[in-house]
Amino acid sequence: MDITTERLVLHAIDRDAAARIVAGEPSVADLWHPDYPFADELDPLRVLASADPASVHPVFTLYQVLRRSDGLAVGGIGFFGAPDSDGVAEIGYGLVEAARGSGLATEALRAASVVAFAHGARAIIADTHPENRASQRVLEKAGFTETHRDAQAVHYRLEPGSAKRVV
Phi, psi of 107 (to 5 degrees): -60, -45
Per residue in 56-102, pLDDT tens?
Answer: 999 999 999 999 999 999 999 999 999 999 999 999 999 999 999 99
pTM for the full model?
0.93
Report the chain's terminal Cα–Cα distance, integer Å: 14
Q: What distance in Å separates the CA atoms of residue 56 and residue 78, rounded to the nearest whole number?
A: 12
d(CA 135, CA 93): 9
CA distance 51 to 120: 23
pLDDT, residue 167, reads 43
pLDDT tens readout for residues 4-23: 999 999 999 999 999 999 99
Who contacts 105 (Cβ-Cβ below 8 Å, separation ≥6)?
Answer: 75, 93, 94, 95, 135, 138
Q: Which of 81, 87, 85, 100 is nearest to 38 (CA)?
A: 100
**Is the pLDDT reported for residue 49 higher than 90?**
yes
Q: What's the confidence (pLDDT) of residue 14?
A: 94
| pLDDT tens per residue across span 99-158 | 999 999 999 999 999 999 999 999 999 999 999 999 999 999 999 999 999 999 999 999
